[in-house]
Structure 1
Amino acid sequence: MKKIIALTLTSLLSSTAYAAPETYVIDSSHSMPRFEYSHFGYSLQLSRFDTITGKITIDRAEKSGSVDVTIDAKSVNTGSTLFNSHIQGEDFFDTAKYPAITFKSSKVKFDGDKVAAVEGDLTVKGITKPVTLTVNSFLCMPHPMVKKEACGVTATTQVKRSDFNMGKYAPYVGDEVTLTIPVESVKL
């Protein structure tokens, strides 16, 4: 009888080590991607997008996952209504024709138990380029307000505007853009 109980406990404990992938939905009220670039060398300009949606799947046992993010390009927020309209024009985001910016992962890299980088395809203005998002912070824990498991991550990458047919005024307005994506997500 003791052997049966021991075998049952061993079986239960070993099966929990192989947990299934967990899926999290992005909380758009706490996730605002931002971008910064040099403005004539005078200053670094910082703008953001107010609307983001998507899902993150993590399989900690297998050290794998996926990220699927959509940013509403029309939600660009520069702090100026006039500049918001300008940057949504054909020379830049061309939101009338390309209303969404997307990122779809091809590989999630772990360092121990934490996500360290995410490789994938960034699509801006209908042009897709491979990028690597470097994860600067990563934390999963029970969310004190919603009483569900939640994960937060802040990731960065650098891209060139000209690679996405948005290079007007370069090099005076910096061609290199730092994209930062802070995301909070809640488990389904």
Structure 2
Amino acid sequence: MKKLIALVLAAGFSTAALAAPETYVIDDSHTFARFSYTHLGFSTQESRFDKTKGKITIDRAAKTGSTEITIDTKSVNTGNDTFNSHIKGADFFDVEKFPTITFKSTKFNFSGDSLASVDGNLTIKGITKPVNLKVTSFKCQPHPMAKKDACGANATATIKRSEFNAGKYAPNVSDDVTLTMSVEAIKE
């Protein structure tokens, strides 16, 4: 009987060890926040931010997690220096007053064993709104070059820029903005 109790306890401890949360640090050289919108109905404009930092904590066995991501608004890259200066101004990102955009998760949502979406709070220009990032891909595995475990994901959401006090020229320049996050993170 003692052997059976010891075996059950050992199995319980080994299951608990498998369900431990793991923390990953965002790899800034492979993580980009992008945004796109329609310009006067002529075309879809796409831009990105070149500096992003943060952490992801995930417990895949328990199907829980959290993330905090900080985007440097001064790193906005439209592909045009003149437009970069324009979009950094008070009508849009107001980077001198608001040097960062943040996303803080409130819940990871799984479909089976796959991460399906992340609920959280997005803060732009000091205004915080709930956002659901739909995860279009998610993968964790050993990183062949870093020789550590890594996770990567792509996620997307649509927001109204006017809700963040950045609605100049709407609706001619669309109020709806698609946000896309491509994230790679290395285990701590």
Give TM-score scaled by structure 1 length: 0.94
Count residues in correspondence.
186
Aligned match of 1:71: 71
1:8 to partner: Cα distance: 4.9
Matching residue within 15, 19, 23 for 2:13: 15
Q: 1:48 to 1:15 in 2, by over 3 A?
A: same
Give the C-alpha shift of residue 59 in structure 1.
1.2
- What is the identity, as a one-letter code, of the residue corresponding to 1:16? S
Structure 1 segments of 4+ aligned residues over 3 angstroms from their partners:
6-14
Contact kept? 1:98, 1:126, Cα under 8 Å: yes
**5+ long unaligned stretches in structure 2:** none
Q: 1:9 to 1:145 in 2, by over 3 A?
A: farther
Q: CA deviation at 1:118?
A: 0.5
AA at the equivalent of 2:161: R
Following TM superposition, by how much is the alpha carbon of 1:60 offset from its aligned partner in structure 2, in angstroms?
A: 1.7
2:81 pairs with 1:81: yes
Q: How far apart, in 1, do the equivalents of 2:74 and 2:150 lie?
A: 27
User: Relative to structure 1, is the Cα distance of residues 30 and 9 closer, same or farther in structure 2, using a 3 angstrom cutoff?
Assistant: farther
Let me know the Cα RMSD of the aligned residues: 1.5
Whichever residue aligns with residue 85 of structure 1, its letter is S
**Equivalent residue letter for 1:141:** Q
The aligned residue for residue 147 of structure 1 is 147
Instruction: Give TM-score scaled by structure 2 length.
Output: 0.94
**Which amino acid in the other structure matches residue 59 of structure 2?**
D
Give distance in 2, aligned partners of 1:115 and 1:93.
30
Give 2:21's aligned amino acid.
P
Question: Which residue does 2:178 correspond to in 1?
Answer: 178
Tell me, yes or no, if the aligned pair for 1:17 and 1:61 is still in contact at 8 Å.
no
Contact 1:32 1:49 in 2 (8 A): yes
Report the counterpart of residue 40 of structure 2 in structure 1.
40
Residue 95 of structure 2 is aligned to residue 101 of structure 1: no
Query: Displacement, 1:9?
Result: 5.3
Of 92-101 and 8-17, the range deviating more from structure 2:
8-17
* Other structure's SS at 2:12 match: helix
Deviation, 1:17, is: 2.2
SS at structure 2 position matched to 1:156: strand
Could you tell me which amino acid in structure 1 is paired with residue 104 of structure 2?
Answer: K
Q: What is the deviation of 1:7?
A: 5.7
CA distance in 1 between partners of 2:7 and 2:82 (Å): 65
Q: Secondary structure at 2:32's aligned position in 1?
A: coil
The 1-side partners of 2:100 and 2:176 are apart by 20
Within a 5 Å distance, the mapping from 1:103-122 to structure 2 comes to: 103-122=103-122
Q: Which one-letter code corresponds to 1:15 in the other structure? A: F
Alpha-carbon displacement from aligned partner over 1:16-50 (angstroms, at most 9, x marks no partner): 32221111000000001100000001000000000
